[in-house]
Structure 1
Amino acid sequence: MTDAHRPDRWFVPESVLRRLKGDPEEDIAAARRDPDAFWLAQARAFEWTKTPTTGLTWNRPHMQWFADGETNITLSALDRHARGEARTRAALIWLSETEEAQVITYGMLHERVERAAAGLRTLGVTAGDRVVIYMPLTPEGVIAMLACARLGAVHSVVYAGLGVGALRDRITDAGARVVITADVGYRRGKLVDLYAIASEAIAELGGVEHLVLWERIKTYQREHDARTVPWESLFTHGRAGAVPVNAEHPLYVLYTSGSTGKPKGVIHTHGGYMVASTYHLGQLFDVRAGDVFFCTSDIGWIVGHSYIVYAPLAAGATVLFREGAPDFPDPGVFWRTVERYGVNVLFTAPTALRLFMKLGPDVLKGHDLSSLRVIACAGEALNPEAWRWAQQHLAGGLEEGAHAVVIDHWWQTELGAPILGTHPRWPARPGFVGRPLAGVDADVVDEQGQRLPDGVQGHLVLRRPTPGMMRGIHGNPEKYAQVWTENPAGYLSGDLAVRDEHGYISILGRADDVLNVAGHRIGSADVEDALVSHPAVAEAAVIGIPDDLKGESIVAHVILRQGFEDQVGRGLRASISEHVRRELGPIATPGEIRVVTALPKTRSGKIMRRVLRAQALGQDPGDLTTLEG
């Protein structure tokens, strides 16, 4: 690439290019010529009980991909590896906070999933049933997901850091008949009593028939809910084969936050999601069969679904995942893990990079990171300083001799797989996430759907569906239709963006009031509802402000109920904060609680959070003509 074509002075050293495989430009050109033929060609790499012959069937807002095809995602993720030479290859490498390791081969994982599926079948779980999984980041959580998929049941994983209220709401919305949980999870050496949370969440939910409990430490003496079934008992009923389902059959419902801040259950399917997520694992992340792929997410989020469980297993890779914080029990544990297991590709969040940037390069001393080929980041904006630090200290530098490249990319729970990115072969432009990937028709437009000139801020849209996209929102078809009809150009991502003259796109932030804390999207309404449920709080509004470590930190503005004003200096803020922690979990706990006497509102009563945000950042609040007098 000549200097004239470089969007930035940074380039990909030849020492890195020699380690990479494939050419993204060929795929981009093929997908542009004939998108259906391109995706059908990718689909042929998977196991089908009936091979599809159709690509996209599109009647906006409704789509189908490979609709005449039949499969089960576990056939590609498990069966084809377990019956071949990959049977003895490590499928999962799991580490505890204390670096206790468990290695599970494809053959072992296949058997355990078949047995767990057979056990769930004895509980009455069949194709189409919903099962909520509230598990720590352990192999048992992965097995539970795959066992549901094997039966054609629809799983809904709830992050094990969320509290009673959030879990109950998701169980109710999903209409789950079975909940799977564990006695405890670990976080920084402390035990989290998951069973107590799950038991309380289902206490008044008569529709839940069984609470499956995996007891990992077996030391709690407690009274069990009458519906409790031991996890071990699932494995005593033989083995269950994969139930063939239509490519459009739901695989899972995963709750995320929409433009209103209310959780919404995003539906993904067996066929298209399998094809798209696995394709990008190979093409964008350069992961190959036999690679060790370290993903630092959790199964409670979309990254954990796509890149701890389904795509790496479908690709025949070895996925490494770890329960616990990246700097616990000491700051060097993360890099000992990379060195010890010869990690080839690392998928992490900018939050983690900023954490290690804060700790300084001394943490890396003595650790050989040369096995790394690609370091992929997503979850929130990868700021230029963090990119440069990671490229310098983790990837071997910015010049010839580097052994890896740090890449940025963007996607959403709704999209299932990356949409924009800086391919390892492309020059990085720090501050820009990258270009549209193969098969993606993304653009920056105004509110009327007209394409905006380079350098002008607008709405990020997708003009055409991709196979990995959601097929609906559980119980809310109107909300699903809205994302495809609100802007004439296509799917409205909810993010503001700007495009440069080289086609690189920078994500500027949410156009709505969804908070992004350490890569986790949290609904403002969720946090506000939890705040107002405290007996001292009459009204609340929350905003996100920039945080060097977490991307955003939550600031809550609360109006107190009459009679509580004199308690502000006597631990009231701590009480409110603990209440939110219990209801929603630690990740949603405000970093600051400000007691106010009024909130800025429009004349119709809508809280103007942008005014609060501008005040917090010392910025001009802009047009205030609609502000209540």
Structure 2
Amino acid sequence: MWKQGHGDATAIIWEGNSPDEDKTFTYSELLAQVKRFANVLKAQGIRKGDRVCIYLQMVPELTIAMLACARIGAVHSVVFGAFSADSLRDRINDSECKLLITQDTAFRGDRSGIPMKANGDAAVAKCPSITGVIVVRRTGDSVDFDESRDVWWHEAMATADDECPPEEMDAEDPLFILYTSGSTGQPKGVLHTTGGYLVYTSFTHEIVFDYHEGDVYFCAADIGWITGHSYIVYGPLSNRAITLMFESIPTYPDFGRYWQVIDKHQVNLFYTAPTALRALMKEGNDWVTQHSRSTLRLLGTVGEPIKEPEWLWYYNIVGDGRCPIVDTWWQTETGGILMTPLPGATPLKPGSATLPFFGIEPVILDEEGKEVEGNPARGYLCIKTAWPGVMRTVYGNHERFRETYFDRFPGYYMTGDGTLRDEDGYYWITGRVDDVLNISGHRLGTAEVEGAIGQHETVAEAAVVGYPHEIKGQGIYAYVTLMSGVSPSDDIETGIKGVVRQYIGPHATPDKIQFAPALPQNPLRQNYAAHPSLVDGRK
């Protein structure tokens, strides 16, 4: 629980892209930065209810900007820093943001010069609602600067007032919009509100991770996704926790980076995705065991189901067989964790999301919408009763909210996931039951990727499905029919991948492209992932 008089306690440890770069912010320092930037936002004409788009990598200014928006009642919309200019444009226009916050360029592992400002410029050129752009100087690289529109973060902060009283908010006032992929091509603006979301993230963070005062908590997610919102920023900071932000990647400068960070900052609680674990497990145990990891007492996973091999490696090698694993299941829409073991209390089963969190009532429904009683059981995973952190609507489209989550099974929240409940009542997530892929813990709609592929001038039609991927869990398998008279080639395949990166971002690049003379025009097209020869031009 919050106590006064802890302004000197550490709030954020920021670990930069380079192992030699880090910063620490106390709660007093963080509050001072948030107040100043809140006044910068006001100077830009931002008021309660206005939307602000934040397009930053994992720099401290990202958290400061989010909290400053919350302080004055502005609604932030964070866009993942790997999204393209086109994806950024679509999200800005959908939420009608008035202001964009970005940075000059970015580092990402051994990559430098990632064109954040250039992407922002390209996006806002087609965003009539944007009236200003605030730019963080991260790398010092030269960027185009519109003196009539753009403002440097550091210059605006230098002249901003120190005091900014918080806006009075109703519990149901919007806090943020975060876009997630749907089964149609247009991403959904998931809207979370102030009271319920903050209560739920605070409570789940404290209980699920068994947080105690002084623990160093490291969630290795990106704040551009819901895990970072809930369990890097809002949940931990609501609990006066020490939360660690990580700008880099787990393989830079080598495969021991996570474990080096854990030793360097004496991390107690570590939360990451199975995709990262699979990639690191493949490189062998030495990268782990050369680091102490002696401060660890709890491990967590998020974003996708974890398979037994990486679960056992995580438990036995990373945790030395002494750290419980909380394998959590939840969604952007749910705001916080819905299923999880309770550390030290719930018997663990490798790969199972185990049991519902307090107050959550999961049910399994059959095709007719009837609850499947008894164990074992298999079917559609739905939630029977509401909880504080649930999303309130799809921004600007409440009908889509109702259709997506409540029409199929009236009276239940439809998660879009299938599940198995075993003989002990434990839940096992079996994957999506809609046209949404889970790529390295990131959700992508098949229609969204198909639409991007279709932007290539040689493509007549495309169908995208998921397939089992050794590292990412699911990979993207694209079937492509070319225009009449066009023959498949390596250059066309490269061009298609480039178009997807341009329209969505690198994380949406197809892993495999198969050219086919024609594609089936019904939902059975999804079956072809398991039988590529069925649409092979030779068959």
Q: TM-score range by the shorter chain?
A: over 0.9
Aligned to 1:412: 331
User: Which runs of 5 or more residues in structure 1 are unaligned?
Assistant: 1-44, 46-79, 619-629
Aligned-pair distance for 1:570? Answer: 4.9
TM-score scaled by length of structure 2: 0.95
Q: 2:243 aligns with which of 313, 319, 328?
A: 319
CA contact (8 A) 1:461 1:489 kept: no
Aligned-pair distance for 1:616? Answer: 4.1
Aligned-pair distance for 1:555? Answer: 1.1
1:183 aligns with 2:183: no
Aligned-pair distance for 1:231? Answer: 1.1
Aligned-pair distance for 1:321? Answer: 1.7
Aligned-pair distance for 1:95? Answer: 1.0
- Aligned equivalents of 2:490, 2:389: Cα separation in 1: 51
Query: Partner amino acid for 2:31?
Result: H
Equivalent residues in 2 for 1:351-500, closer than 5 Å = 351-397=275-321, 402=322, 404-424=323-343, 425-452=345-372, 453-482=374-403, 483-500=405-422
Aligned-pair distance for 1:221? Answer: 5.0
- Aligned equivalents of 1:224, 1:287: Cα separation in 2: 46
Aligned to 2:261: 337
CA contact (8 A) 1:378 1:410 kept: yes
Quick one: structure 1 residues 556 and 303, their matched pair in 2 at CA, closer, same or farther if it must change by over 3 Å? same
1:92 aligns with 2:12: yes
- Aligned equivalents of 1:394, 1:176: Cα separation in 2: 43
What's the secondary structure of 1:457's corresponding residue? Answer: strand
Aligned-pair distance for 1:617? Answer: 10
Aligned to 2:204: 280
CA contact (8 A) 2:182 2:444 kept: no
- Aligned equivalents of 1:231, 1:561: Cα separation in 2: 48
1:611 aligns with 2:532: no
- Aligned equivalents of 2:460, 2:375: Cα separation in 1: 45
CA contact (8 A) 1:288 1:316 kept: no
**CA shift digits 1:199-243 (9 cap, x unpaired):** 001112221100111122223153537421211233222131211
- Aligned equivalents of 1:608, 1:135: Cα separation in 2: 40
What's the secondary structure of 2:489's corresponding residue? Answer: helix
**CA shift digits 1:113-162 (9 cap, x unpaired):** 00000010011101100001000111011111111111100000000000
**CA shift digits 1:354-388 (9 cap, x unpaired):** 11211111111231112111111010111011111
Query: Partner amino acid for 2:102?
Result: T
Aligned to 1:230: 152
Aligned to 2:431: 509
Q: 1:595 aligns with which of 507, 511, 515?
A: 515
CA contact (8 A) 1:290 1:316 kept: no
Aligned to 2:31: 110
Aligned-pair distance for 1:583? Answer: 1.4
Following TM superposition, where does structure 1 have runs of at least 4 consecutive aligned residues deviating by more than 4 angstroms? none
1:241 aligns with 2:165: yes
Aligned to 1:556: 478
1:253 aligns with 2:172: no
CA contact (8 A) 2:9 2:26 kept: yes
CA contact (8 A) 1:132 1:156 kept: yes
What's the secondary structure of 1:587's corresponding residue? Answer: helix
Q: 1:136 aligns with which of 57, 64, 73?
A: 57
Aligned-pair distance for 1:516? Answer: 0.6
- Aligned equivalents of 1:388, 1:489: Cα separation in 2: 38
**CA shift digits 1:563-613 (9 cap, x unpaired):** 432xx33511111111111211111011111111111223xxxx5332222
Query: Partner amino acid for 2:363?
Result: D
Aligned to 2:67: 146
**CA shift digits 1:264-304 (9 cap, x unpaired):** 00000111001111111111111223210001101100000
What's the secondary structure of 1:258's corresponding residue? Answer: coil
- Aligned equivalents of 2:273, 2:246: Cα separation in 1: 14
- Aligned equivalents of 1:275, 1:230: Cα separation in 2: 34
- Aligned equivalents of 1:348, 1:474: Cα separation in 2: 29
- Aligned equivalents of 1:384, 1:422: Cα separation in 2: 16
Highest relative contact order (Cα 8 Å, sep 6+), 1 or 2? 1
Q: Rg larger in 1 or in 2?
A: 1
Query: Partner amino acid for 1:562?
Result: S
**CA shift digits 1:71-113 (9 cap, x unpaired):** xxxxxxxxx66xx332111111111121211111100000000
CA contact (8 A) 1:600 1:611 kept: no
Aligned to 1:6: none
Aligned-pair distance for 1:489? Answer: 4.6
Q: 2:123 aligns with which of 182, 201, 207?
A: 201
- Aligned equivalents of 2:381, 2:185: Cα separation in 1: 19
Quick one: structure 1 residues 505 and 527, their matched pair in 2 at CA, closer, same or farther if it must change by over 3 Å? same
CA contact (8 A) 1:126 1:152 kept: yes
| Percent identical residues | 39
Q: 1:120 aligns with which of 37, 41, 49?
A: 41
What's the secondary structure of 1:544's corresponding residue? Answer: strand
Aligned-pair distance for 1:538? Answer: 1.4
User: What is the RMSD computed on CA atoms of the aligned residues?
Assistant: 1.6
- Aligned equivalents of 1:116, 1:330: Cα separation in 2: 36
Equivalent residues in 2 for 1:21-100, closer than 5 Å = 84-99=4-19, 100=21
What's the secondary structure of 2:494's corresponding residue? Answer: helix
CA contact (8 A) 2:201 2:335 kept: yes
Quick one: structure 1 residues 261 and 432, their matched pair in 2 at CA, closer, same or farther if it must change by over 3 Å? farther
